[in-house]
Structure 1
Amino acid sequence: MNKSYTITISFIVALGGFLLGFDSAVISGAITGIRSYFEMSDWELGFSVGCVIFGAMAGNIFAGPLSDKYGRKKLLIVTAILFTVSATWSALATNYISFVIARIIGGVGIGGAILIAPIYIAEVAPPKLRGSLVSLNQLNIVIGISVAYFSNYFLKDIEGESWRWMLGVEAIPAFLYFLALFIVPRSPRWLIQKLNRVDLAEKILNKIGGKQFAKITIEEILRGVAKKQAKGTYADFFSKRMTTVVIIAFGLAFFQQITGINAIFYYAPTIFEQAGGSTDSSFLQAIVVGLTNLVFTLVAIRLIDKLGRKPLLIIGTSAMTIALTMATLAFNNATYDFNENNLQKIENSELKLALNQIKGTSFNSQNELFENLEQILTKEQLFNFKRYEVKNFISINATLVLIAILLYVAAFAISLGPVMWTMLSEIFPGNVKGIAISAVGFFNSLVSYTVTQFFPWELTNLGPTITFAIYALMAVLSLLFVLKYIVETKGRSLEEVEELLMRVE
């Protein structure tokens, strides 16, 4: 078996994940700059961050069917072009609408890359390596996130509009990805299923695993083709015999996002500022989040084909529940002190004068604080206080918040992060894989957008305690879902997985 060749082409394809991760996290450092430059409200800020997911939905819808028609490789090349255009355009945008359009274009690239890269890798990887190699996509996503946090930290002090540099630097790796993809062969399964080019597929499979591997794999693919002569439809996907597959796919897609992972990645510095951290320390803590994500994704890659998919999901969702509960308790036990030092941090003279009325007072919860402020502040002053100033008065166990966030990210990185995409690349029958992966990816993006859009509003209006309590509840439900519905797929060929899930109804 030519292990190095298989790893090389898988890693190149998975570089789309790097761009996806970088694009997802880089906006976290640019939030202050774009909010000021484009004069955004909370809702506009949430949309400018989350609109990338609208593009991802479009990518989800079209990527699967188009990759079935034109091939996985060609669609990945298109995603590289989209990433390059988006990075350049968003860095040069001079108005809000133009900025949003640029972000949506990048989202289309995300929607394509996040679906097609795992499919391609699953179709070329030998069964014993498939889980690890598909997880390379998730590894590259988290490397992209980490690099984005480092990049933001080193670019934040550039004079002028540093946010433009933060967003524009992505164009460099995007163009390199475009060039590297021309080295990658076409998917052998796609060549046989769509073009009946057994000869070309055999050459690629020989290079991957040798003649015996090529012979066995081609026989399995041809058996699958013989059973599925008609192209699958949405009716086939949602048919009764697919019930188990549909439940697993949509359940994983829902819980991967509803537990709040993108709220953490998109708004990491904002969360740490809510816990009383300075801007500088918040950016540094975001870097630690990215590195934690990276380290535990490497752990997942090592374990996913040894320990299995379901055990990792059980361990991960349990730890996520604990971590989110810790964050909830940390914010719930915070106090808000209106002493002289804290009041001096307020720059708005009218707001400072109004707050002097409660000088020397301490509040035991955010709800109690806001109820009192409603009596002495105008609606506009209260809104500005919630949005910009509450962090100056909080007294909280910031170490516990950091530990909770790091535990949560580590737990996600060994479970829902890589395992969901690995299982989605495994569980769909070949005749409906394109439309199925698109439908589930669209749903996953929709849930992700909902979380991202509402997070700034939740922090301002509900406060961090209730926000994290909601995510903790979702983590509990995700654990129960895993225990009841997830079926183990490790060590099985794609055809064996299909036979297993078609029997379990």
Structure 2
Amino acid sequence: MNKSYTILISLIVALGGFLLGFDSAVISGAVKGITIYFEMTDAMLGFSVGCVVFGAMAGNLMAGPISDILGRKKVLIIVAALFTISAIWSALATDYTVFIIARIIGGIGIGGAILIAPIYIAEIAPPKLRGSLVSFNQLNIVIGISVAYFSNYFLVNIQDESWRWMLGVEAIPAIIYFLALWTVPRSPRWLILKKNKVDLARKTLTKIGGDKYAEITTSEIQRGIDKKEKKAKLSDILKSKYSTIMIIALGIAFFQQITGINAVFYYAPTIFEQAGGSTDSSFLQAIVVGLTNLVFTLVAIWLIDRLGRKPLLLIGSSFMTVALIMATFAFNSATYDFNSNTINQVSNTEIKTILMDFDGKSFQSQTELFEAVKPKLKNEQFLNFKRNEITNFIQINATLVLIAILLYVASFAISLGPVMWTLISEVFPNKIKGIAISVVGFFNSLVSFSVTQVFPWELSTLGPTITFGIYAALSFCAIIFVYKFVIETKGKTLEELEKLLIRT
């Protein structure tokens, strides 16, 4: 078994995950800058952050069917080009609409990368290594997130619109990815199943595992071809024989996003500022979040082929629930104190003057605070207060918030993060894989878009207590779903899983 060759191919392909993670997290540092430059409302801000996921939905729908026609490799090369265009164009944008279009182009790249990279790796990986190698994609996602946080921290103090540098620097790894992809082979399973190029596929399989492995794997793939079956259609995934697979895939796709992970990644500095941190400290704490994500993704890669998929999901979801309850408790215990020191920290002179009326008062919840302050301020002033000034008054156990967020991210990193992509790359039979994985990816992105779009409104309207409480309840539901519906796929070939999961 030529493990080094297989690992090298997987690492190159998984660089798409790096770009995905970088593109997803880099916006967190640019939020304040683009809000001011483009004069955004809460809705505009939510869309400017979430539009990447909106683009990803289009990428999800197109990537699977196109990869069945052109091949996994060619689609990934197109994805690399889209990331490059998006990075440069969004950094140069001077108009809100142009900025949104540029970000959506990057989102289309995300939609392609997040689906096709795991499929490619699963199709070239031997069964004993498949879980770990597919997890390389998630590892690269979290490395990309961490690098984005570091990049934002070092670029935040650049004068004259530092957000442009934050977004534009992504073009460098995107170009590297584009060039590196030309060195990887085409998927042997795609070559056999879609193009009937058995000899070419056998050459790649021989490089991966030797002559015997190539012969056995080629025969196994060919046995999986049912020549009587017609080309897969969208309606095929609704057939009852695929119901178990679709329940598992759609359920995991739903809970991976609805529990709030992208809200934390996209708005990490904002969350820490809500907990009373300064801009610099919030960016540093975001770096710690990224590093935690990286370390525990490495743990997941080590465990996924040893402990199995389902145990990791149950353990991770349980600790995610605990962490979100901790965050809910921390924000619920916060108070908002007005005195000469806190009021003098307000940067807006008009708002500061009005808030003098509250000198000496303390509020026990964000809702109580907003009810008292809103009648005193104009709509624009109240929006400014919620976004920029409220952090001056909050008294909270910031350490508990940080611990809760780190525990949440660590728990996600060993469970729903990598395991979801491993599972959906494993459970679909070859006949419907392209269409089914696009539908599931689209659904995953739709949920992610909804979460990121609503999060700024939740934070400023419902407050962090209710927001994190909702995520905690949904995380608990994830535990129940995994326990009841998810099966273990560890150590089984793709063909064995097909026989196990399809109802006859």
Settle same-fold status: TM greater than 0.5: yes
Cα deviation digits, residues 33-53 of structure 1 (max 9, x gap): 111111111110110111111
C-alpha separation between the residues in 2 aligned to 1:348 and 1:204? 64
Q: Which amino acid aligns with 2:46?
A: G
Cα deviation digits, residues 65-102 of structure 1 (max 9, x gap): 00001100000000000000000000111110110000
Identical-pair percentage: 72
C-alpha separation between the residues in 2 aligned to 1:61 and 1:230? 21
Q: What is the SS of the residue equivalent to 2:267?
A: helix
User: Would you say 1:337 and 2:364 are equivalent positions?
Assistant: no
Q: What is the SS of the residue equivalent to 1:296?
A: helix
* TM, length-normalised to structure 1: 0.98
C-alpha separation between the residues in 2 aligned to 1:20 and 1:483? 30
Cα deviation digits, residues 171-214 of structure 1 (max 9, x gap): 00000000000110000000000111110011000000111111
Alignment of 1:176-191 (within 5 A): 176-191=176-191
C-alpha separation between the residues in 2 aligned to 1:491 and 1:227? 28
User: Would you say 1:87 and 2:87 are equivalent positions?
Assistant: yes
Cα deviation digits, residues 105-132 of structure 1 (max 9, x gap): 0000000000000000000000000000
2:425 is aligned to: 425
Q: What is the SS of the residue equivalent to 2:265?
A: helix
Larger mean Cα displacement after TM superposition, 220-229 or 463-472: 220-229
2:292 is aligned to: 292
1:232 is aligned to: 232
Alignment of 1:337-376 (within 5 A): 337-376=337-376
Q: Which amino acid aligns with 2:432?
A: V
1:217 is aligned to: 217
2:134 is aligned to: 134
Q: What is the SS of the residue equivalent to 1:159?
A: coil
Q: Which amino acid aligns with 1:153?
A: Y
Larger mean Cα displacement after TM superposition, 413-422 or 370-379: 370-379
Q: Which amino acid aligns with 2:421?
A: W
2:19 is aligned to: 19
User: Would you say 1:439 and 2:439 are equivalent positions?
Assistant: yes
* TM, length-normalised to structure 2: 0.99
Q: Which amino acid aligns with 1:20?
A: L
Q: What is the SS of the residue equivalent to 2:262?
A: helix
1:164 is aligned to: 164
Q: What is the SS of the residue equivalent to 1:226?
A: coil
1:192 is aligned to: 192
C-alpha separation between the residues in 2 aligned to 1:179 and 1:228? 40
C-alpha separation between the residues in 2 aligned to 1:283 and 1:225? 52
Cα deviation digits, residues 131-176 of structure 1 (max 9, x gap): 0000000000000000000000011111211111100000000000
Cα deviation digits, residues 453-494 of structure 1 (max 9, x gap): 111111111111111011111101111100100000000000
C-alpha separation between the residues in 2 aligned to 1:379 and 1:172? 42
2:328 is aligned to: 328
C-alpha separation between the residues in 2 aligned to 1:389 and 1:409? 27
1:319 is aligned to: 319
Shift of 1:424: 0.3
**Paired positions, count:** 504
C-alpha separation between the residues in 1 aligned to 2:380 and 2:107? 34
Q: Which amino acid aligns with 2:31?
A: I
Cα deviation digits, residues 396-430 of structure 1 (max 9, x gap): 00000000000000000000000000000000010
RMSD: 1.0
C-alpha separation between the residues in 1 aligned to 2:228 and 2:36? 55
2:151 is aligned to: 151
Q: Which amino acid aligns with 2:3?
A: K
C-alpha separation between the residues in 2 aligned to 1:293 and 1:114? 17
Is the Cα–Cα contact under 8 Å of residues 228 and 431 in structure 1 kept in the other structure?
Answer: no
Shift of 1:385: 1.5
Q: What is the SS of the residue equivalent to 2:336?
A: strand
Q: Which amino acid aligns with 1:193?
A: L
User: Would you say 1:388 and 2:388 are equivalent positions?
Assistant: yes
Shift of 1:238: 1.1
Shift of 1:375: 4.3
Q: Which amino acid aligns with 2:298?
A: L
Q: What is the SS of the residue equivalent to 2:502?
A: helix
Q: What is the SS of the residue equivalent to 2:230?
A: coil
Q: Which amino acid aligns with 2:457?
A: W
C-alpha separation between the residues in 2 aligned to 1:184 and 1:192? 17
2:497 is aligned to: 497
Larger mean Cα displacement after TM superposition, 223-232 or 278-287: 223-232
Shift of 1:215: 1.1
C-alpha separation between the residues in 2 aligned to 1:175 and 1:467? 39
Shift of 1:501: 0.8
Shift of 1:386: 1.5
Larger mean Cα displacement after TM superposition, 220-229 or 407-416: 220-229
Q: What is the SS of the residue equivalent to 2:307?
A: coil
Shift of 1:216: 1.2
